Structure 1
């Protein structure tokens, strides 16, 4: 299967750094709302590991963390980040799987799936709800990120990130077009400039499945999970727990 991040992974950690300045504390706050006691935590679609680092900082007790990431290019950054931090190296296991096929341990304290749901076709998304309902310990929670667009619609070209490293400037641009009944195609452009002049540009397209918050809540309910917002609504984090917990 073609890896959409093979050509863009070198830029992505730079592009998301500013977002994680607010998302990291929000994820930490959401984890503090989880009622389950100590136990394993799974980060599904761990990417370059910024979420893994936030999880470990929020839960300093040493809970083992399983970082699931299917992209070898993203995993290279993830594994380097884990190895270089003694606080992560002893507790984080990196697994080369995707959300649909990753074996989840039993009695999980939490499952984190931030910036992941759009990668999952509806059937795989429903499978994630069912897997979480089986694998979570009593009081455990699945923490997901829900972001617009919620319906197939055009997203105008927007600069998503702008970062300077040394003498070079890096920009990330995004636009999207409807490409199916419940999906869009993102067109991502990553530009490298020096003194305002372009040095290189990489363009990557990838599919993204969309769903409204109410639709996601209905799907989760079918698996026995109740969904509720967590923290700042602008960040789109939600907690899913078994009904009655």
Structure 2
């Protein structure tokens, strides 16, 4: 059987070994709650908590959960290094441990574990699946109108500037096949903040991989403080603008060389 046909058969059988990476910083009020929901919703899925030395004791809670459940693992980092850096550490751990599919999920309950099956079903025919707020069937709960406008507008800006056909490139509920993470060269990723999400989906598309979006209901956190701020959002847009302008410049230079 050809290699491509073998891969198709493997995908039809199921996603294989799955781990969901949950980065945490000061999520003591939410961690046990969200991990419990995830383990009930998907008993076959493992969990990796990546804690950035939370001062509120989140890391200790994670250790207690892992001591009670062999499918819960903990990776402790020495300090708060940003969302992207935490995910990169988690991805490296998951790949070394031999997982076939690696997921991302927030610890605050905004991503519902009960909807993870939608992403896992879709990853049978994709390299990256995004739980999207902005495709038909997707929605947000408890968001002020201005925040929805900002998110929709930011994602439209990303689509137009980077030339990618993804409606929710900033979304953090997603699953990757291990082959996708291996192909995009994680060692070269320098994004550490929320722009990390856009960075990775763009890399997947540029590498010719299949990216799918499935609708989810996103629920604003009800406990703890959000890590997203106006400053973080503006910083992400600035980075995306620089990428887009650089790419347009490189494309123009390539066209000039081809005309010579």
Larger relative contact order (CA 8 Å, sep ≥ 6): 2
Normalized per residue, the structure richer in helix is 2
Q: Do Structure 1 and Structure 2 share a fold, with TM-score over 0.5?
A: no
Q: What TM-score, normalized to structure 2?
A: 0.35
Q: What TM-score, normalized to structure 1?
A: 0.37
Normalized per residue, the structure richer in strand is 1
